[in-house]
Structure 1
Amino acid sequence: MTIVLCVTGSIAATKSIQLARDLRRHGQDVKCFMSEAACDIINPISMEFATNQDVIIKLTGKIEHVKYSQEDLILVAPATASTISKFAYKISDTPITALLLAAYGHNTPILMVPSMHDAMYAGISENLDKLKSEGIHFVDPKMAEGKAKFPDIENIVLESLRLINQNKKD
């Protein structure tokens, strides 16, 4: 099974390295897309090490957003307010939003893990509701210290595996 892990520009991106390693420990192949902002927070080499695969930071003539859009799961962790809102309105202006749009068109399961300031999280509630009504899945953040924080990695892994297994049965 292959999970495409999309890492966006939240400080929670630092936890995505451990998430990728834990997914691999559970037998998943992990391919990683990173946003430009995520690359400012963690080095793509860290994700290459964690996934044992090249990291996609820009689209090329290999049309990576289409190539990986039909994998077993697209996991956006962390998912910023910007990425969630762009995807809610099907704006495709980054490698990650292009991948999300292509995956959505193929009915590939998508799981998002919002991580941001609590005011931003409240501010995008309509976009979250819109995506949920379209069948997009979410792992709710931990609300603490005025932030919508990255949830426990174990919960993300379990929800990812549940969605993959559910999709295999359908």
Structure 2
Amino acid sequence: MRIVLGVTGGIAAYKAALVLRLLKEAGHRVRVVPTESALRMVGRPTWEALSGEPVRTSVFDDAEHVDHVALGRGADLVIVAPATANLLAKAATGLADDLLSTTLLTVTCPVLLAPAMHTEMWLHPATQANVATLRGRGVHVLDPDSGRLTGADSGPGRLPEPAAIVAAALALLDDDVTGQDLAGRSVVVSAGGTREPLDPVRFLGNRSSGRQGVALAHAAARRGATVTLVAANVDDALLPDHPAVDVRQVETTLELRDAVREAGSAADVVVMAAAVADFRPATTTTHKIKKTSSGPAPIELETNPDILAELAADRLRDGQVVVGFAAETGDETGDVLTHGRAKARRKGADLLAVNEVGVGRGFGDVPNEVTILDAEGSVVGRGSGSKDDVADAVWDAVAARLRAATTIER
């Protein structure tokens, strides 16, 4: 395979040399395209010696061959490691002022960006918005690792290890070779966390950011599906901007239920990744509840419908695959998988992705890990790593089930 390895001017540029070596050892032809700033970190002779290819930074170098177009058309995969905040901004806005950024505008192959920067830069709203925009277009953006940064700093923003970058890159190549296994399929994905209002300013809610559901929508679109994303209180910056993804925003559990059922009536797959409130206040006041000397009045709750169980029982369409998510914590009665197996049997969904939640895992911009069970509680798949990695593991399990159903029909 022909791979373009872009390198930008972050301090982690030296790690890209190992990425290059691992790709070469795997038998791929690699053309390194550094920025001018990157060459101040690692020199041109190093890249040329390791790759065996010429190294250029400007569209005016070797201009007669229109190098930026040739690189883009000829590449099977583009990797940028490290991808600085500046590169992410350029890619998101279509700015092209050097060979690397111009090449990114010409490619039609998969693109993998491995960010590396200081924590404050990674968490800045502008960077997060740029990442959301890129992911919405189908660009695969890895989450940076957390750990020691330049100097004494520590936090999210560290370049993922070279082996992890290469593994993600080769997985993208495999996906591209095997084709779009969800092409022609219609899927519905719910994301986020529902909110049940107590009064005009307060609500009962949960910690779900919607990132896992959004990653599922991205992955399904990349694999060829037409996607309806029912987003419950998901930050606008995270919502995908993708022609194959229709976003419908809701707030409460009942609103989410109606939206999922409406969209799901024509869907091949429904994935309930949203964190749905089990209860809602029996009454909602039209004015803010005031603090009084007698203390707060008790809040009477009523039970929300079990949307996943309803979908599994009703089957809005013949042959529809229903997938649920179960955020669990262990307790004195059993571990996470024990509770997950019980829920799988109780809910009746075709697949249930069980994940342990807690500090630093599950909710928010942190790694995730799931065990995928069938309706009987048997393990049929696993996924771990970034939200994108977990999303692909879930769709792998769904695609296998769809293939099996097609084979039986034949």
Question: Normalization by structure 1: what TM-score?
Answer: 0.95
Deviations 1:117-138 (A, max 9, x none): 0111111001001100100002
Tell me by how many angstroms 1:147 deviates: 4.9
Contact 2:110–2:172 under 8 Å retained in 1: yes
Secondary structure of the 2:97 match is coil
Secondary structure of the 1:154 match is helix
Q: Name the structure 2 match of 1:49.
A: 49
Q: Aligned match of 1:128 in 128, 131, 143?
A: 131
Which amino acid letter does the alignment assign opposite residue 123 of structure 2?
Answer: A
Q: Name the structure 1 match of 2:95.
A: 91
Deviations 1:8-37 (A, max 9, x none): 000110111111011101111110101010
> Are residues 1:78 and 2:87 paired?
no
Contact 2:57–2:98 under 8 Å retained in 1: no
Q: 1:162, 1:147 → 2: CA distance?
A: 24
Tell me by how many angstroms 1:51 deviates: 0.8
The structure carrying a bigger helix percent of its residues is 1
Secondary structure of the 1:112 match is strand
Tell me by how many angstroms 1:146 deviates: 3.3
Q: Aligned match of 2:170 in 119, 140, 161?
A: 161
Deviations 1:118-169 (A, max 9, x none): 1111110010011001000022211121351111111111111111111112
Q: Name the structure 2 match of 1:109.
A: 110
Contact 1:8–1:34 under 8 Å retained in 2: yes
Deviations 1:79-123 (A, max 9, x none): 0100110110111111111000111xxx21110000000111111
Q: Name the structure 2 match of 1:29.
A: 29
Which amino acid letter does the alignment assign opposite residue 42 of structure 1?
Answer: V
Structure number with bigger Rg: 2
Contact 1:84–1:127 under 8 Å retained in 2: yes
Contact 2:48–2:55 under 8 Å retained in 1: yes
Which amino acid letter does the alignment assign opposite residue 121 of structure 1?
Answer: W
Q: 2:88, 2:140 → 1: CA distance?
A: 12
Secondary structure of the 1:162 match is helix
Q: Name the structure 2 match of 1:5.
A: 5
Which amino acid letter does the alignment assign opposite residue 91 of structure 2?
Answer: F
Count of matched residue pairs: 167
Q: Which has the higher contact order (CA 8 A, sep 6+)?
A: 1
Instruction: Name structure 2 gaps, 5 residues minimum.
Output: 148-153, 180-410
Q: 2:144, 2:52 → 1: CA distance?
A: 27
Change (3 A) 1:102 1:91: same
Q: Name the structure 1 match of 2:38.
A: 38
Q: 1:22, 1:99 → 2: CA distance?
A: 23
Q: 1:64, 1:141 → 2: CA distance?
A: 30
Identical residues among aligned pairs (%): 31
Question: Normalization by structure 2: what TM-score?
Answer: 0.40
Q: 2:18, 2:98 → 1: CA distance?
A: 24
> Are residues 1:141 and 2:150 paired?
no
> Are residues 1:66 and 2:69 paired?
yes
Secondary structure of the 1:102 match is coil
Q: 1:91, 1:58 → 2: CA distance?
A: 14
- Runs of 4+ residues deviating >4 angstroms: none
Contact 2:134–2:141 under 8 Å retained in 1: no
Q: More displaced, 9-18 or 49-58? A: 49-58
Contact 1:18–1:50 under 8 Å retained in 2: no
Q: 1:81, 1:45 → 2: CA distance?
A: 26
